[in-house]
Amino acid sequence: MTAAADTPATTNTPNRIWDVIIVGQGLAGTTLAWQLLHAGASVLVIDEEAPVTTSKIAAGLITPITGQRLALSWRVDDMLPAARAFYARVEATIGQKVFHDRTAVRLFKSDIERDLWMKRKELPAFQAHLTDPQPSNLLDPSIGDASGGGFHMQTAQLDVAGYLAASRAHFNYEAMALDWHRDVQLSEAASIAGGYRARHIISCEGFAATRNPYFSWVPFKGAKGDILTVRFHRPVPPQCLHRGIWVVPTSEPGVFRVGATYDWRTLDQVPSISGRAEIEDRLAAFFQVPYTVIDHKAAIRPIIRESKALMGLHPLHNRLGFFNGLGSKGSLHAPWFAGCFAAHLVNGAPLPPAFDLRRRVDPL
């Protein structure tokens, strides 16, 4: 393997053989690129530069306790330290803060949810993540309801768009929409159009991988998500709020992201009227501050199984790889999974069997 980690990009040289070409610079491709660079590989990243992608619109929330059942996120006590260490290392290289600790509040929808919170809090695995329930209106008289709420601990937010943009400036990078039929030839050293050649080409294309002829057999379950950006007409606390939906601050005072919906049937990126209505209805149920919607976007989460990534080399083509399926937990999970895949590609370390493409699914 060649090239050094943590060094700025060098000019692309056609006909050079890269260790890895990554197709797609979303959260998956960006994080895998960094982990490969950290492991000493040379990497070329290509991306079609679509204006709206799942990663570009994501809120980047990292919340260890999630959902109505207040479930502990899978292996969070491994994932969170791995994510913190990884993003801190990237921040040191790019000279920009992208990982932010956040205070997050869950407002209880009912006394039943409050009771569940208290039960969970008694369990050892949850104690580091939940505070005691707090009285109602714990933040602001216009926010909250009779059942009160509680503070999530160890919550964070990745500025995903900032992370992608700053990383790109440090990568060997080409703007290119790769056509797998036309541009990819798989031989001893995999090669793509434009003279770029590599030992491995890795598809990190998010839900677009469903159109990739080499991976169309992977069983994706996409989930479209609508997300709003709103400007509140009076000051509100700059905290993340959860109550069926989440409300999270942006770097601009008074401007928050609000979302997100899950639509498993309409798999397009068109912002939907019903998605917006669902978000606004849920917001109105607990938040009485007037606002204006200043942006509305939608994209598809690449889900394969339970928001856990699937990765590895193609069962029939050793030069071709796949890293995808980050689902709703990309910000938290990407560093750990990408670290495993990078170790596999660079050092031959075995992949965790449950997430190894070759063990999990059969190509048609």
Contact 181, 271 (CB under 8 A): no
225 scored as a contact of ligand FAD (CB under 6 A):
yes
Residues 226-285 that bind ligand FAD (CB under 6 A): 227, 259-260
Site string for ligand FAD, 173-202 (x = CB under 6 A): ----xx------------------------
Q: Using CB under 6 A, which of the segments 25-33, 118-126, 343-351, 354-362 binds ligand FAD? A: 25-33
Cβ-contact 150, 133 below 8 angstroms: yes
Segment near ligand FAD (CB under 6 A); pick from 81-89, 278-286, 324-332, 343-351: 324-332
Stretch that binds ligand FAD, among 18-26, 82-90, 108-116, 148-156 (CB under 6 A): 18-26
What percent of the chain is helix, strand and coil (3-state, nearest 5)? 30, 30, 40
Minimum CB separation of residue 91 from ligand FAD in Å reads 17
Report the alpha-carbon distance of residue 135 to residue 283 in Å, rounded.
Answer: 20
Nearest to 183 by CA among 199, 196, 172, 171: 196
Cβ proximity to ligand FAD: between 177 and 193 the closer is 177
The single-letter code of the amino acid at 330 is G
Q: Is 326 in the site for ligand FAD (CB under 6 A)?
A: yes
**Residue 76: in which H helix or E strand, if any?**
helix 76-94
CB of residue 260 vs ligand FAD: minimum separation in angstroms? 4
Nearest distance, CB of residue 240 and ligand FAD, angstroms: 10
* H or E element in which residue 340 lies: helix 330-347
Among 38, 106, 168, 329, binds ligand FAD (CB under 6 A): 329
Tokens of 96: 């920009």
Please name the residues in contact with 247: beta carbons below 8 A apart, sequence gap of 6 or more.
240, 241, 256, 257, 258, 283, 287
Q: Under the rule (CB under 6 A), what is the footprint of ligand FAD?
A: 23-29, 46-48, 50, 53-55, 57-61, 177-178, 204-208, 225, 227, 259-260, 299, 301-302, 324, 326-332
